[in-house]
Amino acid sequence: MAGGASMSGEDDGITGINVTPFVDICLVLLIIFMVTAKYITSQSIPVDLPEAASASDTQTVAVANVSINGAGQMFVDLEPVDEAGLRTRMQTRLAQNSELRAIINADRTTPHGRVTQAIDIIRLAGVTKFAIQTTQPAEAEHGAAR
């Protein structure tokens, strides 16, 4: 019999271990960790971000998260600050790392002038690399806009 069970009365020991189920479990765990890692590391003030078709995930080494909620209140890394506090915090962080980048998370209802004011304060503190965080629109909305 080709490929069938052995008809001889010998009991052979286990000659091989099937590692396929182990590899499958490892890959599933890896995917779970990759998906959940983004939610664990990106803690910020909850704001309703505007949408932009060119939006992407920004991951840099030295980042200061500046959030502006709908009421115009500013936060740096989850701590509330005023204009002077924002400038001081940016200068302190820049002194610690000269490659500091600021990510501005502004609620879509925040007035443009308030966002511009935050950008100006960040630049006066010496931080020249910054970005405004947005989210990508849903595919249906994106296709209709074209």
Predicted confidence band of residue 126 (pLDDT cuts 50, 70, 90): very high
Alpha helices (H) along the chain:
20-41, 83-96, 112-124, 139-145
- Residue 116 pLDDT: 92
Give the pLDDT score at 74. Answer: 93
Judged against a pLDDT cut of 90, whether residue 139 lies above it is answered with: no
For residues 15 and 87, which has the higher predicted lDDT (pLDDT)?
A: 87
Q: What is the chain's mean pLDDT, rounded?
A: 80
| Domain-wise residue ranges, the chain | 44-146
Q: Is 95 helix (H, G, I), strand (E, B) or coil?
A: helix
Q: How many residues belong to the chain? A: 146
Collapsing DSSP states into helix, strand and coil, what is residue 106? strand
Strand order in the sheet with 74-76: 79-81, 74-76, 63-68, 101-106, 129-132
Per the model's pLDDT, the better-predicted residue between 137 and 63 turns out to be: 63
Span 44-146 CATH architecture? 2-Layer Sandwich (3.30)
Q: What percent of the chain has pLDDT over 90?
A: 30
**CA-CA-CA-CA torsion for 132, 138, 142, 145, nearest 10 degrees?**
-90
Contact 83, 115 (CB under 8 A): no
**Is 0.85 topped by the overall pTM?**
no
Residue with tokens 């820049």: 94
Looking at the predicted structure, is the pLDDT value of residue 77 above 60? yes
In this structure, which amino acid lies at residue 106? A
Tally of helices (H runs) and strands (E runs) in the chain: 4, 5
Q: pLDDT tens digit string along 8-56?
A: 556 677 778 888 999 999 999 998 888 877 666 555 566 676 777 766 5
